[in-house]
Amino acid sequence: MERNEIIKYLPYSYPFLFVDELEEINEDGVKGNYTFAESSFFYQGHFKDNPVTPGVILTECMAQIGVVSLGIYLLRNKDLSRLKVALSNIDIDFYIPVLPGQKVMVNSQKEYFRFQKLKCKVEMRNKEGKLVCRGEISGMIIEDE
């Protein structure tokens, strides 16, 4: 399966798809990126006259690239149209803001994938390589009956 073919199987679409490109992917992890468009809906009120990307959106971006994309890759031999995903746990620390128009890179390393639960160490950096946030994200990836 090609890296960017995985994006087609993600259960998200505009305006809630936060994956532009998967740069690398293998059994142990994934690297990808996303650029936050200045016109994104969440900047309209977060914060007044000083827009910053909400932490929940940064977390979602890391989950889409670092857990869901990796899960699809790991289950690529299954019927991908029947896969369902759900966030099960997050523990993220935030260090610097992401402003409108900024590109971020996400790097995820699999800790384990067993009993349909995928747990990853995930970090996000800006284009200057500065650490934006990092932590652990877990999700359940199951095949619909």
98-115 pLDDT, tens per residue? 999 999 999 999 999 999
Residue 46 is among the residues annotated as catalytic for this protein:
yes
Based on the number of CB atoms within 10 Å of its own CB, is 55 exposed (0-12), middle (13-18) or buried (19 or more)?
Answer: middle
C-alpha distances in angstroms, 102 versus 29, 39, 40, 106, 125?
A: 23, 12, 12, 13, 11
pLDDT of residue 37: 97
pLDDT of residue 3: 86
pLDDT of residue 95: 98
Q: Among 3, 17, 42, 46, which one carries the catalytic annotation?
A: 46
Tell me the average pLDDT across 41-49: 91
pTM above 0.75, yes or no: yes
Q: Report all structural domains of the chain as residue ranges with CATH numbers, in order of start.
A: 3-143 (3.10.129.10)
12-43 pLDDT, tens per residue? 999 999 999 999 999 999 999 999 999 999 99
